[in-house]
A and B are shown apart, each in its own frame.
Chain A
Amino acid sequence: MNFELSDEQQMLVDMARQFAAQTVAPGAEHRDQTSSFPSDLIGPLAEQGFLGMLVPESDGGSEMGYVNYALALAEIAQACASTAVTMAVNNLTASAIATYASQELRAEVLPSLCDGRDGKVGAFALSEPHCGSDAAALKTRADRDGEDYILNGSKQWITNGAFASWVLVMARTGEGSRGISAFAVPGDAPGLIIGPEEKKMGLKGSNTVPLTLENVRVPARYRVGDEGIGFQIAMNALDGGRIGIGSQALGIGRAALREAARYMEERKAFGKPLNRHQALQFMVADIGTDLEATRLLMLKAASLRDQGKPMTQEASMCKVYASEACCRAVDSALQIHGGYGYVQDYAIERLYRDARVTRIYEGTSEIQRVVISRNVLKGAS
């Protein structure tokens, strides 16, 4: 057992931290205030190799694996949670395609997802207006028509949807969870209608839209893997995706901790700086412990994933703990700021809003608990 980062991993963290501070952090507040997608950051993220971290080099990726991915993503999230989710969804989509798609399809799709061509990214379309966590209930259909499939249906909460070069769409080719298949759909496919942008509480720099598929015709070679394995692809992608959200939550939590520490140094009450008041020190101690726990859960899940070992339970533990720890962290950090935490002059207000979604997307906290309880009950004697 060894918990320390290797020299290479530490170098990556340092590089990502510097990139995040210099390139990502400066526009974070503006993107939040104006709900602007970080189009200008897609190229620089690609240059760092951060868009195809889970894609083999032979497919155009940087093939850095989940541990490095989680470490880098946390650094980006500490600077801007919106940019982090944009990056995470691109990696998640590219990883699923790299794992399951044919050689021919990988060659067609992955280079553009890895190099962020035209400031565009990948999107992952599983949820629908009537179903999120209960993914097997999806209704979008893919009907075979000669050499093509014709897709019809509605997808909801699609991150990166309006800026997608490719959308990985889960659609029904049969009954039940084994009747779901995955398709790579070009972002500009005729019939793929991008709905109005959601007015979200946080992550306002990221793009979230509903997508409507109206007789979207894609060639059969755009099917990712065999017919009927779409649910498996989605669940596998979500296991990996949960590490990503854990990592994002860690980054937001760290940013909150840093904001709190700064404020506690400058603000005085009763003749001494806030950081000399024990009630606030103890809040910081709990945030710090929670974040260290989060970091270890994240690294364990990522490390298992890199070794190809089962990690569904670990991914769920990482995701539920990370997101809830993050929400506790932003709440305490906002409390430490007092009234100033409630206005937009300080970054904690944005962090508080950004944090909340981590308990919802990529499987709600409740879904994670369903997964974990099922697993631990299996271990009973």
Chain B
Amino acid sequence: MDFTLNEEQQMFKDTCASLADDMLAPKAGEWDQGHIYPTDAIATMAEMGLMGVAIPDSEGGTGADNLTYAITMEEISRGCASCGVIMSVNNSLYCDPVHRFARPEQRAEWLAPYASGEKLGAFALTEPGNGSDAAAMRTTAELEGDEYVLNGTKAWITNAYEADAFIVFATTDRSAGHRAVSAFLVATGTPGLSLGKKEDKLGIRASSTAQLFFENCRIPAANLLGEIGEGFKVAMGTLDGGRIGIAAQALGIAEAAFRAARDYSLERKTFGKPIAEHQAIAFKLADMATRIEVARLLTHQAAQLKDAKADYGKASAMAKLAAAETAMWVTTQAIQVFGGNGYVTEYPVERHFRDAKITEIYEGTSEVQRIVIARAVLEEALR
């Protein structure tokens, strides 16, 4: 048992912290207000090896472990939660499953440029009629000669406007449930694939989110990712890992709000002393710090279990649930510490509050996490 970071992990943390403080945090408000995709920041993050953190060097990635990924995700998200989700989708939802399932001949085209950050990937599982219930898939894939023909609509696709490729899930038989779902690699610009309008979101507004429309979209049969009918397995394994990324994003948002509230509480005076010296505020800070510590331990544990190739499904669900709810709670408290100043865009905490909300929803809502956790916990308690 050891709760300290090794040298490499600490180095990544420090480097990302500097980037977050110097380049991301100062601009995050402007990107948020203007719905501006942070092109230069993402390019810098790519140069730093942050777009394929846990993908081996030999495949274009950085070759670090999943714990390092969680640590870097937290720091980046502390600076800008939108940069965090752009990074998370490319790492966890695109590169990770491609790394695990792509055939040797697919890897140069579909993995290396994405793991290096030269190109950007996205993940298209959810549909307008189903989110967490992935087995209710409506998008179809029909084999015609040596091509698959895709038809259907995907919703809430992060990075939709900037992505160079999508992992698209489709069923080859709607009546066969999740056993008929397969994963396909689809390049942007493929005829028959079009984008819906950008969603006007509450938070993470510097990242794009849109629907994808597939109308007789033809792709080579060779673009199948994994085996036919293996899509559900690809998706579920990916989401377990993705939850670590979102837990880390939530941690970063919470930490940013906590630091802002802490610093403000030392500056702002009421009744003749800094509000930090009023116990009502001091105790809020204590609870914020404690809950962040809890979420961080759970997140690091999930990442470390993944690194150890141990079962980490329950751990990542707990991490995601705790971190998301902590982010929401901490940002709510942070606004309270700021009072009226917390309610306006001159201070960052209203953005943190808006950014935090999505972490309770995507990559499996808090309710879905509780379903996963309850199942595991009830079984263990009776063992």
Partner of A4, one of B1, B369, B382: B1
Q: Kindly list chain B residues whose C-beta atoms are within 8 Å of the C-beta of A299.
A: 1, 3
A3-B301, A293-B297, A369-B283 known; A320-B290 Cβ under 8 A: yes
The majority secondary structure among interface residues of chain A is helix
Q: Is A131 an interface residue (CB 8 A)?
A: no
User: Closest approach, in angstroms, between the C-beta of B67 and any C-beta of chain A?
Assistant: 6
Whether the Cβ atoms of B377 and A287 lie closer than 8 Å is yes
Give complex CA distance A50, B145 in Å: 72
Contact flags A261-272 to B (C-beta < 8 A → 1, else 0):
110110000000
Q: Is B48 an interface residue (CB 8 A)?
A: no
Partner of B286, one of A282, A292, A372: A372
User: Closest approach, in angstroms, between the C-beta of B10 and any C-beta of chain A?
Assistant: 11
Contact flags A57-98 to B (C-beta < 8 A → 1, else 0):
000000000010000000000000000000000000000000
Whether the Cβ atoms of A282 and B374 lie closer than 8 Å is yes
Give complex CA distance A323, B286 in Å: 15
Q: Kindly list chain A residues whose C-beta atoms are within 8 Å of the C-beta of B300.
A: 1, 3
Interface residue count for A (Cβ, 8 Å)? 50
Contact flags B42-76 to A (C-beta < 8 A → 1, else 0):
00000000000000000000000001000000000
Q: Kindly list chain B residues whose C-beta atoms are within 8 Å of the C-beta of A320.
A: 286, 290
Q: Is A234 an interface residue (CB 8 A)?
A: no
Q: Is A209 an interface residue (CB 8 A)?
A: no
Give complex CA distance A275, B377 in Å: 11
Q: Kindly list chain A residues whose C-beta atoms are within 8 Å of the C-beta of B297.
A: 293, 296-297, 300
A265-B382, A285-B377 known; A6-B282 Cβ under 8 A: no
Q: Kindly list chain B residues whose C-beta atoms are within 8 Å of the C-beta of A314.
A: 293
Q: Is A178 an interface residue (CB 8 A)?
A: no
User: Closest approach, in angstroms, between the C-beta of B299 and any C-beta of chain A?
Assistant: 10
A281-B371, A281-B378, A293-B322 known; A2-B282 Cβ under 8 A: no
- Which residue of B4, B286, B370, B375 has the most chain A CB atoms within 10 A of its CB atom? B286
A1-B304, A9-B1 known; A288-B376 Cβ under 8 A: yes
- Which residue of A258, A264, A373 has the most chain B CB atoms within 10 A of its CB atom? A373
User: Closest approach, in angstroms, between the C-beta of A256 and any C-beta of chain B?
Assistant: 10
Q: Kindly list chain B residues whose C-beta atoms are within 8 Å of the C-beta of A296.
A: 294, 297-298, 301
Q: Which residue of the partner chain B has the closest CB to A264?
A: B378
A281-B370, A297-B293, A377-B262 known; A304-B3 Cβ under 8 A: yes
Q: Is B305 an interface residue (CB 8 A)?
A: yes
User: Closest approach, in angstroms, between the C-beta of B313 and any C-beta of chain A?
Assistant: 13
Give complex CA distance A282, B377 in Å: 10
Give complex CA distance A223, B176 in Å: 78
A289-B318, A296-B294 known; A372-B6 Cβ under 8 A: no
Whether the Cβ atoms of B382 and A261 lie closer than 8 Å is yes
Q: Which residue of the partner chain A has the closest CB to B321?
A: A289
Q: Is A317 an interface residue (CB 8 A)?
A: yes
Q: Is A99 an interface residue (CB 8 A)?
A: no
Give complex CA distance A298, B315 in Å: 17
User: Closest approach, in angstroms, between the C-beta of A179 and any C-beta of chain B?
Assistant: 27
Whether the Cβ atoms of A289 and B266 lie closer than 8 Å is no
User: Closest approach, in angstroms, between the C-beta of A353 and any C-beta of chain B?
Assistant: 21
Q: Is A286 an interface residue (CB 8 A)?
A: yes
Partner of B294, one of A9, A293, A376: A293
Give complex CA distance A218, B191 in Å: 93
User: Closest approach, in angstroms, between the C-beta of B121 and any C-beta of chain A?
Assistant: 28
Give complex CA distance A374, B308 in Å: 37
Q: Kindly list chain A residues whose C-beta atoms are within 8 Å of the C-beta of B380.
A: 288
Q: Is B5 an interface residue (CB 8 A)?
A: yes
Q: Kindly list chain A residues whose C-beta atoms are within 8 Å of the C-beta of B286.
A: 320, 368-370, 372-373, 376
Give complex CA distance A372, B287 in Å: 8
Whether the Cβ atoms of A288 and B6 lie closer than 8 Å is no
Q: Kindly list chain A residues whose C-beta atoms are within 8 Å of the C-beta of B370.
A: 281-282, 285-286
Whether the Cβ atoms of A289 and B1 lie closer than 8 Å is no
Q: Is B9 an interface residue (CB 8 A)?
A: yes
Partner of A321, one of B294, B377, B378: B294
Question: Which chain B residues numbered 329 to 383 have a C-beta less than 8 Å away from chain A?
Answer: 367, 369-371, 373-378, 380-382
State the 8 A-B residue pairs at the shortest beta-carbon distance, nearest first: A288-B377, A261-B381, A373-B282, A372-B286, A281-B374, A285-B370, A296-B297, A285-B373
Binding site for A on B (CB under 8 A): 1-6, 9, 67, 259, 262-263, 265-266, 276, 279, 282-283, 285-287, 289-290, 293-294, 297-298, 300-301, 304-305, 308, 310, 315, 318, 321-322, 367, 369-371, 373-378, 380-382
Query: Can you list 22 A-B pairs, Cβ within 8 angstroms, ordered by A?
Result: A1-B5, A1-B67, A2-B304, A9-B1, A257-B381, A281-B370, A282-B367, A282-B374, A285-B371, A288-B373, A288-B380, A288-B381, A289-B298, A289-B373, A296-B301, A300-B297, A317-B289, A366-B283, A372-B286, A373-B282, A376-B262, A376-B286
Beyond known contacts A288-B376, A293-B297, A370-B282: 4 more, CB 8 A cutoff: A262-B381, A285-B321, A320-B286, A377-B266
Binding site for B on A (CB under 8 A): 1-6, 9, 67, 254, 257-258, 260-262, 264-265, 275, 278, 281-282, 284-289, 292-293, 296-297, 299-300, 303-304, 314, 317, 320-321, 366, 368-370, 372-374, 376-377, 379-381
